[in-house]
Amino acid sequence: MLIGLSIRDVVLIESLDLALGSGLTALTGETGAGKSIVLDSLGLATGARAEAGLVRRGAAQAVATAVFALVPNHPAWAYLTEKGLEADPSEDLVLRRQLGSDGRSRAFVNDQAVSVAVLRDLGAMLLEVHGQHETVGLLDSRTHRPLLDAFGDTAALAETVAGAWTDWREARKTVEALRESVARASAEAEEISARLAELDRLDPREGEEAELAEERALLGSAEKALAEIATARETLGGDNLSSRLAQALRALERARERALQAGASPEAEASRRLAAAVAAVERALVEADEASSAIDLAAEAFEFEPDRLEKAEERLFALRAAARKLSVAADDLPRERVRLAEALRVIESAGDDLTAAEAAVAAARALYVETATALSAARRSAGDRLAATVEAELAPLKLEKARFRVAVEPLGEDKAGPQGMDRVAFEVSTIPGAPFGALDAIASGGELARFALALKASLAGRGSGEAAGPVMIFDEVDQGVGGAVADAVGLRLRRLAEAAQVLVVTHSPQVAARADAHWRVSKTGDEARVSTRVETLGPAAREEELARMLAGAEITDAARAAARALMEA
C-alpha cells in the first residue's frame, strides 16, 4: 500500500507531503490545476521516464519520494534481495528520485543508490496505471495468464504443471549429459583401454615414487660406503688386533703370577699395578671384539643384490614416464587407474543407463502433458466464465457493443514451459462484427481505462487484492461519460477499493462521491508566481467541491443539495 508521497519542486508544486490510506482516494480539480503533476511525481518516484521539464522553474532539481507499506511476502522484498540491496520487510519501502534541471537523475531505494531500472522494476510490482494516455500493469499480456489462473482457482494445478515441467527438464538434462558422456567415452574407449592395461601391468602404489627415489639414492652411495668401511676394518687390524691383545693379556697374567711366586703380596704396589693392567687389557679385548662386530654389521647393511640399483631405477623411470604420458603426478597414478576403470565401466553400462534415463524422460513428459492438458481445459473454462463476467460489467460502463474474450491458444511442445502449453491473452472487439484484438490495439484511451476497470472489477477478490496486488491508479476513467455511466464507474471503483488501494483522478462528482478520501487540486498565486496545492477535504469542503463539479463556476443551493445526496447514496 502507498502510504506517503512527498513532492519537491516538480512543475508547479514547490513542496507537498501527502499521506494516503486504504480504500478509494479521489483527486479532483479544474482542468489545468495540476492533477497530472501528482501522478507524474508518483511516476517519477517509481522509475517512469522523466525529462528536465518536470523541474520547477528556478529550482536546481525535482525530488519525488514514494513510501510503501508492504506485506512480508511481497515480491518486491525478494527482488531487492536478488539485487543485493538491504531490505527489511518489517519496515517501509522508500523509493526516491532526484531529477536535475540538466535532465540527469539519481535513484534511491531506502537511501541506497540504485539504477532507474531498479525503480522501474519495483514500480511495475507496486503500481497499475490505467488512463487516457497510459495503461500499464493489467494490460501487460504477461499478467493475463496468472490473472486467469487466480480467477479460475487453477493456481494449484498450475503449480503442479510447473513441478512436472521441472522434472521433465531435469530428466532431459540427465539424458543429454549421459549421451555426451557416452559419446566422449566411446570415442576414447580404445585409448582408455590401452592406458588402463598399461597401468594394470605397472600396478603403481601411492607413495611409491618417493620410496624408489630414496632407495636409488641409498644404493648409489653404497659402493663408496663399503670402501670406507673396509678402510676402517683394515685400520683396526681386523682379528689381528684381538690376537695381539690376547697375547698381551697372557703375558701380563704370567708376570703377575711370577711376582706372587717371588713372595710379593697382592696388596703390594707391583701386584696392584699388574692387576690394573690385566683389567685394562681385558676391557680393550672386549671393546675390540665389539668394534669388529659393529663394522661387520655396518658392512652388511650396504650389501645389496648386484642388480638391485638397476631394478629400482627402471621402476622409478617407468612410473615417471607413465605419469608424464597421462599428464598426472606419479602419486596420482593409482587414482587415474580407478578413473579409467570407471570410464570403461560407463561405456560398458552406457546402453542400460541411457535406456533407463530415456524411459524417465518419457514418463516425465507424459506426466507434464497430462497435467498441462488438464490445466488448458481448466483455463478455457475459466476464460469463458471471466469473459461472461467482464461483458456483464461493460454495458453499465457505456461499452454495451463491446465484446471481450480470453484467448487460450495451444502452444507446441517446443514452446511449452513451466506455465503450461497455452498462450493466454485478453482480447476485445469494440465494434459489432469486428475481429478481436489486443486491448491496447483495439480500444481508445477512454475505452481502455473502462475495460481495465471492468476487468479489475471482475477479478476483484481473485488474487488481485491489496495484500498481493499493486496500487491501482485510474486517470480520468470517466472521460466522456456522465450520469448513470459515471455512477456505474464510481460503484465499481468503490467495490474494487474494498480489497485494494485505488487512486482515481476524476471530473465526475458521481465518482468522487464514492471515495473514502477526497483531495482537491488547485492553483494559487498570480501571473508572476503560480503554484499547485493539494488539500484533503473534510465533509463540508467536500460537499462544496462536489457542488462545484455539478454546477460549474456558480455554485447553487440545488447543487449543494445534489452533492449531499451523492455523498449519502
Encode 432-451: b = buried (16+ Cβ within 10 Å), e = exposed.
eeeeeeebeebbebbbbbbb
Q: Which amino acid is at 141?
A: S
| pLDDT tens digits, one per residue of 168-196 | 999 999 999 888 877 777 777 778 888 88
Checking if the pLDDT of 377 tops 70, the result is yes
pLDDT on residue 122: 94
Q: What whole-number distance in Å separates Cα of residue 2 and Cα of residue 501?
A: 8
Comparing 81-90, 150-159, 210-219, 349-358, the range with the smallest average pLDDT is: 210-219
The x, y and z cell numbers of residue 518, run together, are 477526497
CA–CA distances in Å: residue 567 to residues 181, 506, 537, 548: 75, 16, 13, 14
Better-scored residue on pLDDT, 227 or 9: 9
For strands 24-28 and 61-68, give the pairing: unpaired
Start-to-end CA span in the chain (Å):
27
Residue among 51, 89, 86 nearest 69 (CA): 89
Residues 1-10: what's their mean pLDDT? 94
Checking if the pLDDT of 138 tops 50, the result is yes
| pLDDT tens digits, one per residue of 465-476 | 444 467 888 887
Asked if 482 and 493 touch (Cβ cutoff 8 Å), the reply is no
Q: H or E element: which one contains 17?
A: strand 13-19
- Beta-strand runs (E) in 212-323: none
Better-scored residue on pLDDT, 275 or 46: 46
pLDDT on residue 121: 93
pLDDT on residue 85: 93
pLDDT on residue 289: 82
pLDDT on residue 271: 79
Q: What whole-number distance in Å separates Cα of residue 487 and Cα of residue 489?
A: 5
pLDDT on residue 228: 76
Q: What's this model's pTM, rounded to 2 decimal places?
A: 0.62
| pLDDT tens digits, one per residue of 408-434 | 999 888 889 999 999 999 998 888 888
* Strand order across the 135-136 sheet: 135-136, 127-131, 471-475, 502-505, 24-28, 517-525, 530-536
For strands 517-525 and 24-28, give the pairing: parallel
One DSSP character per residue, 124-193 reads HHHEEEEESS-EESTT-GGGHHHHHHHHTT-HHHHHHHHHHHHHHHHHHHHHHHHHHHHHHHHHTHHHHH
Better-scored residue on pLDDT, 12 or 527: 12
Q: What whole-number distance in Å separates Cα of residue 401 and Cα of residue 431?
A: 6
Beta bridge partners of 474: 130, 504
| pLDDT tens digits, one per residue of 510-569 | 999 999 999 999 888 766 678 888 899 999 999 999 999 888 778 888 989 999 999 887
- Structural domain boundaries of the chain? 157-374
**Coil vs helix vs strand at 49:** coil
